Amino acid sequence: MRGTRSSVVATVSAAALLVVGFDYTTYAVTGDSLLLGRANQADGVTTLTRHGSGVALSLESSGHRAPSLRVSSSARVPRLNADLLDGRHAAQLSTRAVSYRAGARGNVVNGAGFWRVRVAPGAYQVSFKAFVIPDSAPVGSTVDVICGVADLATLGPNTRVYTADSATYSNAFPTLMSGADTVRIRKDADPGIVCTTATNSDFTLFKPITASFTRVDRRTVRTAAPVAVQKVGPGGLFAELHR
C-alpha cells in the first residue's frame, strides 16, 4: 500500500508541476488568460488566428436586441461590412424623385395656368419640362411664353421662382422649355407649376407639363472662381464648344 500511495503522490505532484509549469510558460509568452465574465486588461494587441477554414471568432448574445459586440471608439474600422447606415437600409438611403403632371395634351389654358403640388418643406432638386403652343401671333410679331415652378403664395412683383424657362414663338410649333435647380422650400410656401404668356393670351398644351422633386439632405452653394479669357480658334468660343 505504501508503494502504491507513494506512486500516486508522485504522479499527482508531477501532474501539478506540469500544469503549473505549462501555465507559467503560457503567461510568460502571452500574458494572463482571458477571464470570462470579467474585465480583462492587456498592454498589447490581442490577436486570434485560426489555422484552417471558418471564422476565427464567433460572438453570440441572447435576444435580437442585445448586440454581440460593443466598441468604445468612434474611429472607422477598415474592411468591416455594415448592413445599416444610421439605422437605415441602402434602399432607404437612395434618392427618390416625386413627379407631378399638370394638364393633358390639347388642354387650352386661358391666359395663365397654375397647378399646385404637395411637397413637404425641405431641400429639393427641382426640375420641369413644358411644351406649349400659344395662339397664332400676327405676321411679323412674336409671343413670349414662360413656364416653371414657383411659390404660388408669392405671386406678384416678388414671386419666389424655384426654376423657370422662357421661349419666343413666331409660329404654331411647340418649343421645349425646361429648367432645374436645387432649392429650399419653406414651411409657409405653396409650391406649384406656373405657365403664362407675356400678352396673357391663351395657349394649348402640346403635352402635360411635368415637374419633379428629389429630396436632398443639404444645399451647398459655392462661388466659382473667375479665370482669364482663353484664346480660341477663328470660329469663336461657340464653335469650339460645339465640336
As given in the structure block, the three cell numbers for residue 155 are 405671386
Structure confidence at residue 232 (pLDDT):
66
Amino acid at 40: N
On whether the CB atoms of residues 109 and 194 are closer than 8 A, the answer is no
CA dihedral sign, ordered 197, 203, 206, 210: positive
- First-to-final CA distance of the chain: 109
Give the whole-angstrom CA distance, residue 193 versus residue 143: 20
pLDDT score for 85: 66
CA distance 57 to 199: 76
Low-confidence ranges of the chain (pLDDT < 70): 1-32, 82-95, 136-140, 171-172, 218-221, 229-230, 232-237, 239-243
- How much is the pLDDT for 126? 95
pLDDT computed for residue 156 by the predictor: 84
Euclidean distance between CA atoms 191 and 186, whole angstroms: 9
Per-residue pLDDT at 88? 63
111: left (phi over 0), alpha (psi -120 to 50) or beta: left
Dist CA 104 CA 3 (whole Å): 110
Predicted structure pTM score: 0.55
| Per-residue pLDDT at 128 | 96
In 3D, which of 51, 53, 30, 50 has the Cα closest to residue 42?
Answer: 30
For 71, the grid coordinates are 466598441
Q: What is the pLDDT of residues 181-224, one digit of tens each?
A: 999 999 999 999 999 988 888 889 999 999 999 988 765 667 78
> Residue 24: its pLDDT value, please?
43
Residue 91 confidence (pLDDT): 58
E strand map for 40-121 = 97-102, 108-109, 112-116
User: Looking at the chain, how many residues does it have?
Assistant: 243
Beta bridge partners of 127: 180, 212
Closest C-alpha among 32, 212, 186, 19 to residue 125: 212
